Structure 1
């Protein structure tokens, strides 16, 4: 059983009064019992708990207190779990009786993005404040592994699929999430809250979701590791959907070890999600090797005509990252991914049609007081325009409503087939032509200043090919442009999850590029 409290979120009916947070937090120290939580892995924490230097209860109390201090500035957490301390105590009792934890996540506080079914699940929208969803399969796997679900993370409302004029990181329920490095800058989305919570030590690890960049972009902008697994490795059951052709949950963490540990728990076959039928249990932490880049051939992808221009400063950091790869024995091969204009043209209308189908099915199957379908959500937003439409419109919703909402519609199924095939062919063809083990690219340019008047102003991104293909990608901190972090993405083919994590780990261990947030006001 669980119970959530929303006392830490923006009150229902309220929105962020201003884009810029008022001030930096009073304390950013993340130490407990002489341990620096910001630099520890979940494996380190297991050793600390096994040796009785730390308990899950103490760890959970620390994070809940830290959320109270930092969340009024960061708006990263929508709700906390009132049963978290009971879950932590149960883990401590189990450890006391057995002498050890039951796995790498036993007793570890985890934050879930608020589109993952666990208690009240709003997707950031006031339209879903009365829902009563079933518990997501991912949440069940985490609890079975002994993890302590500490709460729910803020996000770009409706997972950033409501308006082309949106400001990422804002939701009517949670307000505007602040970048912990420079508080008036954006977090990207839609997994903004989980990425900020990981960066600011509001939980040990977090779970985000991605359809098209929603794990990769916020992880890069907030200086953390984000892993988007191969489509079908992690179940979507109980997750508020956009498209079964691209949706996947995945870990957002401060280091690659933790991402591998989380993925080892949540990647599992789910009879209610046919895409996961081939998933088998795998301990991704065993494949982490600081020498994993030796002998690898790595495609270096930086094409401003396709990705947008990351700017000279980001390019300089990327060049240094490529130099670090070669210093570890990798061979860098410049590449350009073909056919991405086809992906860019055909993905959006396909997603709109799939979203209408998926959200209508989700709303129909979810108990509680909420709109019955997409048309009802649109009507709710129009009626609640002072809150829901205060900063930007719902033109994506409006367009999706005009589609058949039928995944078998010939026009839209052809768009999906073309987009997915082009993305897969672009990656696979490039890997094969150059005999590559992976492709790297900058994950992001530095964060931009949040401005509701203009919406998001970012023009650079590298997440789309892997997202549309359903292929894995992982971003790891690669350095800073001024005070703002930028990430390095590793992109691979279907099923190369373990290999990508190993290469990202080797890069991380070579560079140690991540630094804790600075909480600068501007």
Structure 2
């Protein structure tokens, strides 16, 4: 009898494994079958670049552990997909979506992957992504890579899955794994999660190791879980979190680490003051209607809402400062990463990658340019006074004068707003044309925790609710996300429609 895994939570799958009604091997094969049916055939989501050849053997080993009574925790025998800018042992390369890295077979686990394995999880495969994590061009189409093609949104196949963790978003929504791992510099966990009807959690920068992950920015990069429920995301984060001697930003991680799935309660929001980012809700009336319904759920959950009308005041130069930081750190950090790759990778610097792209323009530059790569290559370096000033300015504006000030001034514990507008139609010719609300910038730059939780649908397309907290308030943000999730119960499974249903009304519970 076929194993049914669609929409199954990690606790449900763990209970099935514990009861012996399925084995980890059967669970892995069932997810592989879904990848074949939905990603390779059927709607052809293009969300999975590769399945790990050793996944079945790894599942058998976890089954043998279980028979001996050695169960490592709630992720034991559970299949997880990781974004293809994260290294994992085995013969599968880590490509960041570029054919320049097809020989990047490091056969080493990134520390975050090692932590997942130590928790008993099975690394099922690698997900597609926006090439180079969407930092090659400002004319790019999110979700496209020369290795994996264009990711499709499982709620409407002509719609975008957002970047850069687009494959992790689409695969998670389609139940191609129990959960997925994405990475974010600014919005690349939260946007694809919300656009694909998932919970996405961007941790405090430094809670999860970035070692052996193809980088953009050491001051903003982080990996984070993407899942179909807050509980699932919390279970995965518990495994991911921890310090790494090679990543100085993680020095506090062990002291801050906890069981993020503990203490989750539907009553958590009672009496909690929450700041509503009213000036960050966008202009889409249907999104605003969904958000209004979400605010009613917060009130029903016992929260006290505080209107914030001018959250952007004094932050006008934040984007400019962030952009300078990203361009300088991209060159420095990518050069350092490429220097660590195997000898088979002939492209050892950003300059080499730019030359490779030009020489292989029919493949790499078929749809958009590499203007951001060119700009990054022109930067002076990490000792440039302009960079040092921009880094300090961006951190100050996003943190002390941004999130921290807003929460202190209005005496609130969290800030909330719509995570996204409805997914836009993918257009490889013209690039991304999405517009609307986004809450990612301040927490991304400050390095603070940010969760998105499904709050409703517009024309059948998911809309997420963002909850932002202060530094190292990861567990509190997760608890708030869980309480909202329990009040709203908003998520519905994808239907793989060919296009959005313009007549669909916002879904109400």
Which residue of 489, 493, 498 maps to 1:516? 493
Asked whether the equivalents of residues 5 and 31 of structure 2 are also in contact (C-alpha less than 8 Å), the reply is no
Match of 1:112 in 2: 82
Asked whether the equivalents of residues 56 and 92 of structure 1 are also in contact (C-alpha less than 8 Å), the reply is yes
Give the whole-Å Cα distance in 2 for the aligned partners of 1:67 and 1:354: 36
Give the whole-Å Cα distance in 2 for the aligned partners of 1:324 and 1:149: 36
- Displacement of 1:473 in angstroms is 0.2
Match of 2:124 in 1: 150
Asked whether the equivalents of residues 169 and 193 of structure 2 are also in contact (C-alpha less than 8 Å), the reply is yes
Give the whole-Å Cα distance in 2 for the aligned partners of 1:388 and 1:310: 35
Which residue of 465, 478, 484 maps to 1:501? 478
The count of aligned residue pairs is: 485
The equivalences for 1:344-493 within 5 A come to: 344-367=319-342, 368-404=344-380, 406-424=381-399, 425-460=401-436, 461-493=438-470
Question: Deviations 1:454-498 (Å, cap 9, x if unpaired)?
Answer: 211112221111000000000000000011010000001001100
The equivalences for 1:103-502 within 5 A come to: 103-118=73-88, 119-133=92-106, 134-280=108-254, 281-304=257-280, 309-335=282-308, 336-337=310-311, 338-367=313-342, 368-404=344-380, 406-424=381-399, 425-460=401-436, 461-502=438-479
Asked whether the equivalents of residues 5 and 30 of structure 2 are also in contact (C-alpha less than 8 Å), the reply is no
Relative to structure 1, is the Cα distance of residues 142 and 36 closer, same or farther in structure 2, using a 3 angstrom cutoff? closer
Match of 2:507 in 1: none
Query: Please, which runs of 5 or more residues in structure 2 have no aligned partner?
Result: 500-509
Question: Deviations 1:139-181 (Å, cap 9, x if unpaired)?
Answer: 1111111110000000000000000000000000000000000
Give the whole-Å Cα distance in 1 for the aligned partners of 2:373 and 2:225: 28
Give the whole-Å Cα distance in 2 for the aligned partners of 1:284 and 1:151: 25
- Displacement of 1:310 in angstroms is 4.5
CA RMSD, 1 decimal: 1.3
Q: Secondary structure at the match of 1:518?
A: coil
Give the whole-Å Cα distance in 1 for the aligned partners of 2:258 and 2:446: 22
Give the whole-Å Cα distance in 1 for the aligned partners of 2:25 and 2:53: 13
Give the whole-Å Cα distance in 1 for the aligned partners of 2:332 and 2:341: 15
Question: Deviations 1:285-322 (Å, cap 9, x if unpaired)?
Answer: 11211111111101101325xx7x25110011001101
Asked whether the equivalents of residues 131 and 143 of structure 2 are also in contact (C-alpha less than 8 Å), the reply is yes
Q: Secondary structure at the match of 1:110?
A: strand
Match of 1:86 in 2: 57
The equivalences for 1:26-37 within 5 A come to: 33=3, 37=6
- Displacement of 1:215 in angstroms is 0.3
- Displacement of 1:37 in angstroms is 3.6
Whether 1:64 and 2:39 are equivalent positions in the alignment is no
Give the whole-Å Cα distance in 2 for the aligned partners of 1:407 and 1:132: 29
- Greater CA deviation, 285-294 or 476-485? 285-294
Please give the TM-score of this superposition, normalised by the length of structure 2.
0.93
Give the whole-Å Cα distance in 1 for the aligned partners of 2:85 and 2:283: 30
Match of 2:14 in 1: 46
Query: Please, which runs of 5 or more residues in structure 1 have no aligned partner?
Result: 1-30
Relative to structure 1, is the Cα distance of residues 232 and 326 closer, same or farther in structure 2, using a 3 angstrom cutoff? same
Q: Secondary structure at the match of 1:284?
A: coil
Asked whether the equivalents of residues 87 and 94 of structure 2 are also in contact (C-alpha less than 8 Å), the reply is yes
Relative to structure 1, is the Cα distance of residues 441 and 370 closer, same or farther in structure 2, using a 3 angstrom cutoff? farther
Give the whole-Å Cα distance in 2 for the aligned partners of 1:56 and 1:188: 31
Asked whether the equivalents of residues 212 and 463 of structure 1 are also in contact (C-alpha less than 8 Å), the reply is yes
Asked whether the equivalents of residues 227 and 475 of structure 1 are also in contact (C-alpha less than 8 Å), the reply is yes
Asked whether the equivalents of residues 79 and 178 of structure 2 are also in contact (C-alpha less than 8 Å), the reply is yes
- Displacement of 1:44 in angstroms is 2.1
Give the whole-Å Cα distance in 2 for the aligned partners of 1:345 and 1:152: 33
Question: Deviations 1:195-246 (Å, cap 9, x if unpaired)?
Answer: 1110000000110000000001001100000000001000000000011100
Asked whether the equivalents of residues 339 and 423 of structure 1 are also in contact (C-alpha less than 8 Å), the reply is no
Give the whole-Å Cα distance in 2 for the aligned partners of 1:449 and 1:440: 26
Give the whole-Å Cα distance in 2 for the aligned partners of 1:372 and 1:42: 40
Please give the TM-score of this superposition, normalised by the length of structure 1.
0.91
Question: Deviations 1:328-379 (Å, cap 9, x if unpaired)?
Answer: 1001111132333221111112100011000001111111323110000000
Asked whether the equivalents of residues 129 and 370 of structure 1 are also in contact (C-alpha less than 8 Å), the reply is no
- Greater CA deviation, 337-346 or 349-358? 337-346
